[in-house]
């Protein structure tokens, strides 16, 4: 595995692969890799000749008072895992390699970026869209793989790629979960032992809400209210629990067929997100 720290080094490697006719799949990450990331890398390997993984804790997607400084950085362990699954190149830039101090350009994917997580983390999705666009320009992959756990992030990125005609196929990959149902996340490491026992309730409540929608006996507002009340009973402080159309993440009605339920809630100081998506009547 080649480890590249600068944009020019990464570009030189990619250029040589391109010359040889190789296709390239890209997995952008912020490190602290878990089985969900490794699943992305394995799927990337199965879909292209070469796999590039980036590890970059992007300061522009963290808000004031968020965990940028304390975000888990486990570079050595990450490198070993990536080597173990046959990653071809690891891009490990410094913040100054990605953002010059006089950078004047940012990407805003309006509408979708302001709802749900965007409402609670102003500027977050602009930070994500900007860094992902820059990484796409640097790596120039044929395809890029993203986890469905971050459903809103995935939708923001798909919208950006469509609107800016970025020639990258976005491949969504299923969320990897613990046996308890808890979605794997680097932030799970912040949970105390007691919180870890409770955290899977978020996924359970999502599944209950899905069943209620399929049963069709309650309104969407009632289903959302019940879910919020259950989460509160378990000690979560919810940011939102919203039944949406999976296509554009606008509020769903009971007539909609393609549904995603998005949820974000704090357990202690840990903010968890999860979702469940399904088709009705299939």
Instruction: Please state the φ and ψ torsions of residue 11, each to the nearest 5 degrees.
Output: -65, -35
Task: Give, for 175, the enclosing helix (H) or strand (E).
Answer: none
Please give the torsion angle defined by the CA atoms of residues 141, 72, 190 and 40, in that order, rounded to the nearest 10 degrees.
Answer: 20
Q: Which of 40, 44, 51, 131 binds ligand PAF (CB under 6 A)?
A: 131
Burial class (CB in 10 A: 0-12, 13-18, 19+), 68: middle
When asked if residue 29 is in the footprint of ligand PAF (CB under 6 A), the reply is yes
Active-site entry in 14, 24, 37, 236: 37
When asked if residue 79 is in the footprint of ligand PAF (CB under 6 A), the reply is no
When asked if residue 264 is in the footprint of ligand PAF (CB under 6 A), the reply is no
Size of the site for ligand PAF (CB under 6 A): 10
When asked if residue 118 is in the footprint of ligand PAF (CB under 6 A), the reply is no
The DSSP letter of residue 181 is S
When the beta carbons of 143 and 204 are compared against ligand PAF, the nearer one is: 143
Q: Which of 10, 52, 117, 128 binds ligand PAF (CB under 6 A)?
A: 128
Burial class (CB in 10 A: 0-12, 13-18, 19+), 128: buried
Q: Which of 32, 58, 175, 242 binds ligand PAF (CB under 6 A)?
A: 58
Q: Give 34-48 as a DSSP string.
A: -HHHHHHHHHHHHHS
Instruction: Please state the φ and ψ torsions of residue 130, each to the nearest 5 degrees.
Output: -65, -45
Could you count the other beta carbons within 10 Å of the beta carbon of residue 199?
25
Active site residue 124: no
Which range of residues in 23-31, 245-253, 255-263, 273-281 is near ligand PAF by CB under 6 A?
Answer: 23-31
When asked if residue 132 is in the footprint of ligand PAF (CB under 6 A), the reply is yes
Residue ranges that bind ligand PAF, judged by CB under 6 A: 28-30, 58, 61, 128, 131-132, 150, 153
Residues carrying an active site annotation? 37
């Amino acid at each position: 595995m080649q480890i590249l720290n600068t944009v020019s080094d990464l570009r030189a490697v990619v250029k040589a692969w391109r010359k040889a006719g190789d296709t390239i799949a890209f997995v952008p990450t912020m490190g602290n890799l878990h089985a969900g990331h490794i699943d992305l890398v394995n799927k990337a390997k199965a879909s292209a000749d070469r796999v590039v993984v980036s590890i970059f804790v992007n300061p522009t997607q963290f808000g004031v008072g968020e965990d940028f400084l304390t975000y888990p950085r486990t570079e050595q362990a990450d490198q070993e895992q990536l080597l173990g699954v046959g990653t071809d190149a690891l891009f490990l830039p410094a913040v100054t390699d990605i953002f010059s101090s006089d950078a004047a350009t940012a990407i805003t994917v309006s509408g979708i970026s302001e709802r749900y997580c965007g409402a609670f983390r102003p500027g977050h999705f602009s930070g994500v869209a900007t860094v992902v666009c820059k990484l796409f320009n640097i790596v120039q992959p044929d395809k890029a793989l993203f986890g469905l756990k971050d459903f809103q992030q995935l939708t923001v990125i798909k919208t950006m790629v469509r609107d800016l005609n970025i020639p990258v196929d976005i491949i969504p990959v299923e969320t990897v979960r613990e046996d308890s149902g808890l979605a794997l996340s680097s932030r799970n490491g912040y949970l105390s032992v007691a919180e870890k026992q409770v955290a899977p309730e978020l996924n359970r409540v999502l599944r209950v809400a899905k069943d209620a929608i399929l049963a069709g006996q309650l309104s969407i507002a009632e289903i959302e209210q019940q879910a919020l009340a259950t989460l509160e009973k378990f000690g979560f402080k919810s940011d939102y629990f919203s039944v949406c159309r999976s296509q554009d993440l606008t509020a769903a009605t009971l007539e909609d067929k393609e549904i995603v339920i998005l949820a974000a809630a704090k357990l202690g100081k840990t903010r968890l997100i999860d979702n469940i998506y399904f088709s009705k009547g299939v």
